[in-house]
Amino acid sequence: MTEQTGLSAAGSAQTGLRHIGIIMDGNGRWAKQRGQDRSQGHLEGLKAAKRVVKAASDLGISYLTLYTFSTENWKRASEEVGFVMGLVKKHIRAELDFYRENRIRVRHVGDREKLPPSILEELDGACNDTRDFTGLQVIIALNTEAGTKLSGL
């Protein structure tokens, strides 16, 4: 078991585990409990997500869905929403080389209609650049409704 992720090397081989879904929730509460701004919690959540992506890739997991932002999150303060959207945009751009080096395919599920054009541009670019990769598929669930089904992936 890795200290940072809690995933074991036996996970995919022994259990047949193919798809892991992670709801990235509680970052604001995490920060508040430590006397930090909510934005620091979102930054830490992003760092944790990268560790999980790397571990899932190393373990041979086929699919990892990161539920990053639900349609309900639009009700939060506009400053927080803007910060989270900015993080998503920066992360996709900054981590594209990581995805390429590890042959990780990036995909998106969610309502595209309400997402800012700059976010869609980054998502589409990453999805197109990695579409032929056969390793782990990271599905970024961005602007999804609770209960979104991922059948057919």
| pTM of the predicted structure, to 2 decimals | 0.80
At residue 68, what are phi and psi to the nearest 5 degrees?
-95, -30
Chain length of the chain: 153
- Distance of alpha carbon 116 from its chain centroid, rounded? 17
**Over 70: is that where the pLDDT of 54 sits?**
yes
| The pLDDT value given to residue 31 | 65
What are 83-117's pLDDT values in tens digits?
888 888 988 888 999 999 999 999 999 999 989 99
Q: Tell me the domain boundaries of the chain.
A: 16-143
101 within 8 A of 53, measured Cβ to Cβ: no
Which positions are annotated as active-site residues? 25, 73
Work out the mean pLDDT of the chain and round it to a whole number.
Answer: 82
Torsion region of 19: left, alpha or beta (phi above 0 gives left; psi -120 to 50 gives alpha): beta
What are 4-47's pLDDT values in tens digits?
445 544 445 545 789 998 887 766 677 677 887 766 776 777 78
58 within 8 A of 104, measured Cβ to Cβ: no
13 within 8 A of 60, measured Cβ to Cβ: yes
| The pLDDT value given to residue 140 | 93
Is 16-143 a domain of CATH 3.30.1300.10? no
| The pLDDT value given to residue 135 | 92
134 or 44: which leads in pLDDT = 134
Q: b/e per residue, 10-24, with b = 16+ CB within 10 A?
A: ebbeeeebeebebeb
Provide the pLDDT confidence category of residue 65 given band limits of 50, 70 and 90.
very high
